[in-house]
């Protein structure tokens, strides 16, 4: 289990970005993290990954404080798709995806068939096979996003954390990504995904809403996006529509506000 206990974080020069957040993510959960710009979503992911150290509270991975895990062991459990993540220049897509195997390679161990299988699988499920020999710098934003997702999947993580993963993706690849995350969760991976579009949260199994660094709602995604906290946070700016497949969440614009 991946667990945040009364988690707080303040940046050195800035206000408190996160306060008193308690959350549990179990294998097979798919948690969508909602909240306006600056509400602490990326900060929460970075704390979950051990990239930031909590100012208060703790993150526990499989019952142990994250700070007590060695980097390689943590890298076999947790993978990250950052928002606008940097990418190593001069490498082909396949070489980038292969970097996802680093947590499995000791100082003296070179890559074996398991590593190649994981790389092939990751390229396949992200529809990146045709891109494997292309250089990352030459890909479109959406293609690059899929390769970086493949790198995270090649880690074969127990928990996959993604920061606005549908950024840059066209509708087909958005749908593919949502299906893939659902499949990974069904296979027992714990997925935590920051989502920008509330409609994408509806695909998850659970949603949380952050506001000014605090967790203000948690529950079934449909209940969170129709809930009082969501309506208050986005006061007057959202419109909910009954849709063919359930519910659609749209921004409200024009005179009707
Ligand atoms: P979100 O991902 O929800 O948009 P973030 O977690 O990135 O929000 O940021 C939460 C708050 O922390 C914001 O007020 C943001 O301005 C601030 N913040 C983020 N990164 C830094 C930083 N490196 N230094 C200072 N403040 C930061
Ligand atoms: Mg963010």
Q: Is residue 139 part of a domain?
A: no
pLDDT > 90? residue 42: yes
Per-residue pLDDT at 240 exceeds 60: yes
Between CA 249 and CA 159 the distance in angstroms is 28
Residue 144 located in a structural domain:
no
Instruction: Quote the CA–CA distance of 20 and 114 in Å, as a whole number.
Output: 41
Q: How many residues are present in the chain?
A: 257
- On whether residue 149 sits in a domain, the answer given is no
Q: Domain range holding 172?
A: 2-86+158-251
Residue 176 has pLDDT above 60, yes or no: yes
Least confident window among 1-5, 124-128, 154-158, 242-246: 242-246
Q: Is 40 among the domain residues?
A: yes
**Mean pLDDT lowest for which of 39-43, 46-50, 100-104?**
100-104
Asked if the structure places residue 14 within a domain, the reply is: yes
* The predicted structure's pLDDT at residue 256: 60
Task: Give the distance (Å) from ligand 2 centre to CA of residue 84.
Answer: 10
pLDDT confidence band for 238 (50 / 70 / 90): confident
Q: Which is nearest to 133 in space by CA: 87, 91, 86?
A: 91
Would you state the pLDDT for residue 221?
96
CATH number at residue 220: 3.40.50.300
106, pLDDT greater than 90: no
pLDDT at 188 over 60: yes
Q: Is residue 41 within 6 Å of ligand 1 at its C-beta?
A: yes
d(CA 49, CA 45): 6
Cα separation of 229 and 136, whole Å?
41
Distance CA 86, CA 33 (A): 22
How far does residue 80's CA lie from ligand 2's centre (Å)?
A: 13
* Top-ranked range on mean pLDDT: pick from 2-6, 72-76, 112-116, 172-176: 2-6
Number of domains in the chain: 1
Tell me, in angstroms, the distance from the centre of ligand 1 to residue 54's CA: 14
Average pLDDT over residues 111-120: 91
> Quick check: CB of 88 below 6 Å from ligand 1?
no
pTM over 0.85: yes
Position 32 in a domain: yes
Question: Rounded to 10 degrees, what is the CA torsion of 96, 101, 103, 108?
Answer: -110
């Amino acid at each position: 289990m991946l667990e945040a206990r009364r988690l707080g974080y303040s940046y050195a020069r800035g206000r408190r970005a996160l306060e008193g957040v308690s959350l549990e993510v179990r294998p097979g959960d798919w948690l969508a993290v909602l909240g306006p710009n600056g509400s602490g979503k990326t900060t929460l992911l970075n704390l979950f990954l051990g990239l930031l150290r909590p100012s208060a509270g703790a993150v526990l991975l499989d019952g142990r404080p994250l700070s007590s895990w060695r980097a390689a062991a943590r890298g076999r459990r947790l993978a990250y798709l950052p928002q606008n993540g940097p990418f190593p220049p001069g490498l082909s897509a396949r070489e980038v995806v292969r970097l996802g195997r680093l947590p499995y390679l000791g100082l003296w161990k070179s890559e074996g068939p398991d590593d190649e299988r994981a790389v092939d699988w990751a390229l396949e499920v992200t529809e990146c096979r045709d891109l494997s020999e292309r250089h990352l710098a030459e890909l479109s934003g959406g293609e690059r996003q899929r390769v970086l997702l493949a790198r995270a999947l090649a880690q074969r993580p127990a928990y996959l954390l993604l920061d606005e993963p549908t950024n840059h993706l066209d509708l087909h690849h958005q749908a593919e990504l949502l299906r893939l995350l659902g499949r990974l969760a069904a296979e027992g991976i714990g997925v935590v995904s920051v989502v920008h579009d509330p409609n994408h949260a509806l695909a998850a199994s659970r949603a949380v809403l952050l506001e000014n660094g605090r967790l203000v709602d948690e529950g079934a995604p449909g209940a969170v996006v129709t809930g009082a906290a969501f309506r208050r946070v986005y006061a007057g700016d959202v419109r909910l529509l009954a849709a063919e497949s359930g519910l659609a969440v749209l921004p409200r614009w024009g005179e009707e506000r």
